[in-house]
Amino acid sequence: IHTIANIVKTVEGVKLLDIDPGKATNRTVITFVGEPEKVIEAAFRLIRKASELIDMSKQTGEHPRFGATDVCPLVPIANISMEETAAYAHMLGKRVGEELGISGYFYENAATSEDRKNLATVRSGEYEGLKEKFSKPDWKPDFGPTVYNTQVKKSGVIAISARDFLIAYNVNLNSTSTRRANAIAFDIRENGRIKMVNGKKVLDTNGVPQKIPGKLKAVKGIGWFIEEYGVAQISYNLTNINVSPLHLVFDKTCERAQHRGIRVSGSELVGLVPKKVLIDAGVYFLK
């Protein structure tokens, strides 16, 4: 992990901010910052090193994934527009495809089509489903080889994006039940849950299952059991902290957990958050 992460330090002007490994997820979030061209160079070197050291055919973990460098989101912080950031994402993808022979997809603001915007859609089927994915005309990669080969078998593929801050945030429960953790996640997340009547899915006129939306917009969530802690956990992605701030997600999770006879026993950030997030939380709870 450190061999891969420290590669970014070889680019002058790039600062490595954080390395956050997860045991159960078997996944590490690496955060670094700098001027665009330098960040692109550092990301390229990191992707190359990860492809050399990680064999995806031997990788397992709780978190969805389909590549050695699973996702590489570029986040505009200051003095750069989202459009410019997307152009840098395309530049990086082109180079990864041409020089490393690694295939991949653009998502969020760098997506080449509307149906590729959502990371969960792009990553569906995960690493194990790549052979089938490559055979579908609709899922031809945006860059790199378009046929399943030995490089794909070893390194998988990569998703590259331009997007706003995304906060990865986990909430622990005093329960071991994944089912109950998922129930709380469905209460909160924007996508909600499938509508059921008498144990059967309610379908619309097109045969698509109807949804009961959750309480908070711009929130994705799933429940799982973390062996490391011996508890069930809800793993959230907060995609717009202006719409659903971190403190509100925590508070509503506590509320829904209590409603279901469970208590929240703690929470953890994966990676970093803007300082404003913590100040806003302080103001909210002081009130």
The pLDDT tens digits of the residues spanning 162-188 come to: 999 899 999 999 999 999 999 999 999
From the list 154, 158, 7, the residue with the least C-alpha distance to 72 is 158
Tokens 């978190």 correspond to what residue?
63
Q: Dig out the tokens for 188 from the structure.
A: 């909160």
d(CA 112, CA 109): 9
DSSP E strands in 90-137: the ranges are 104-108
pLDDT for the residue 271 = 87
d(CA 247, CA 274): 13
The pLDDT tens digits of the residues spanning 56-110 come to: 999 999 899 999 999 999 999 999 999 999 999 999 999 999 999 999 999 999 9
DSSP string for residues in 44-72: HHHHHHHHHH--GGG---SS---BSS-EE
d(CA 180, CA 10): 46
pLDDT for the residue 286 = 97
SS3 for 134-196, per residue? HCCHHHCCCECCCCCCHHHHHHECEEEEECCCCEEEEEEECCCCHHHHHHHHHHHCCCCEECE
Query: Predicted confidence band at 220 (pLDDT cuts at 50, 70, 90)?
Result: very high
117-to-108, 113, 114, 121, 174 alpha-carbon distances in Å = 4, 7, 6, 8, 35
Query: Predicted confidence band at 16 (pLDDT cuts at 50, 70, 90)?
Result: very high
Query: Predicted confidence band at 159 (pLDDT cuts at 50, 70, 90)?
Result: very high
Q: Phi and psi for 45 in degrees, rounded to 5?
A: -65, -40
Residue type, 52: E
pLDDT for the residue 73 = 97
**Predicted confidence (pLDDT) at residue 24 exceeds the cutoff of 90:** no
From the list 141, 143, 145, the residue with the least C-alpha distance to 122 is 141
Mean pLDDT of the residues in the chain: 95
| Known catalytic membership, residue 63 | yes
The pLDDT tens digits of the residues spanning 223-279 come to: 999 988 999 999 999 999 999 999 999 999 999 999 999 999 999 999 889 899 999
- Of the candidates 2, 63, 247, 259, the residue annotated as catalytic is 63
